[in-house]
Structure 1
């Protein structure tokens, strides 16, 4: 599997699933690709993804065990 030197920008739901370690979300090939990309370059999220996480938390659709800002950092 080829990993490029370009950073990988994660969509909001992918970022949340990775952060929570949600089992079975990614097939083995996708999980391997994410792992390889993360080793080559840091994974990135957009500012809008941070805003979406805040909105999900405020609306009670995402339960975090810490303040939202701390979770994002």
Structure 2
């Protein structure tokens, strides 16, 4: 079974980006590139793939802000 989520770490700002694997593959297939959603850098590195969203959040601290989950900082 194929993994659903793809975890990427930015090489510039060191923040985590959690992406959906199908959308990433579709974007790359169309000839576009993936960039960091925080700083816009193209240097993002693949860290892990998983089907469980809770495993994506293991190494980071998150809190709810107005009903949305936000990353506070990496540990």
TM-score by length of 2: 0.25
Higher helix share: 1
TM-score by length of 1: 0.26
Higher strand share: 2
